[in-house]
Amino acid sequence: DAGITQSPRHKVTETGTPVTLRCHQTENHRYMYWYRQDPGHGLRLIHYSYGVKDTDKGEVSDGYSVSRSKTEDFLLTLESATSSQTSVYFCAISEQTGLIEAFFGQGTRLTVV
Amino acid sequence: ILNVEQSPQSLHVQEGDSTNFTCSFPSSNFYALHWYRWETAKSPEALFVMTLNGDEKKKGRISATLNTKEGYSYLYIKGSQPEDSATYLCALKTSYDKVIFGPGTSLSVIP
């Protein structure tokens, strides 16, 4: 299995609180991605990174920010969580751009109450 | 907004049956197409990356074809087994770094 771990795996938080999810890889892959998975929508890209300190927005980036201060870690922050951000969040890594031969993490189930 | 569609949404087949499902996408935005297999409680696993019109890829009993001119890809599973039960996702790469996922086809293989 590829070395990619997400933490925490489950979290319940209150509306308005900040939340940070962590994606950690040991593969030294250049590209890292955060997706959310919701019923009827498949996987939707929130943000991605193409190198240390290089990030860009995906299709559903509003309300989220990311940081990548070192190759192995990609953090997703919800500055002020809302109930619409209740979802399952997946991190992915790939050596090539465009999710070619990507590996996915196990997912983080976030519930905002 | 670009849309990637998959049909059917779900499928139930008997063990030993062969099956296939479809991924449709706007042909004008094609760069590459991915197929992923996603088992319950696990993370998506890459199956194929397809880039050329007429591409045909195979991995064991699973194969895929691609038609970029008409904007579709088929995934075939020959002699379905219970362990094939999963959601199968296709994802369209539309440019250097943009990938859009379809909603998936959920396959249940009944022993």
Given an 8 Å threshold on Cβ–Cβ distance, is B99 in contact with A45? yes
Residue A111, beta-bridge partner list: A12
Residues of B in contact with A101 (CB under 8 A): 46, 49
Asked if the C-beta of B57 comes within 8 angstroms of chain A's C-beta atoms, the answer is no
Query: Alpha-carbon distance B100 to B91, whole Å?
Result: 5
In the three-class reduction of DSSP (H, G, I as helix; E, B as strand; rest coil), residue A85 is classed as helix
Angle formed at CA A23 by CA A21 and CA A24, multiple of 5 degrees: 140
Report the residue of chain B nearest A1, measured CA to CA. Answer: B45
pLDDT per residue as tens digits for the range B18-61: 999 999 999 887 889 999 999 988 888 999 999 999 999 999 99
pLDDT per residue as tens digits for the range B54-84: 999 999 999 999 999 999 999 999 999 999 9
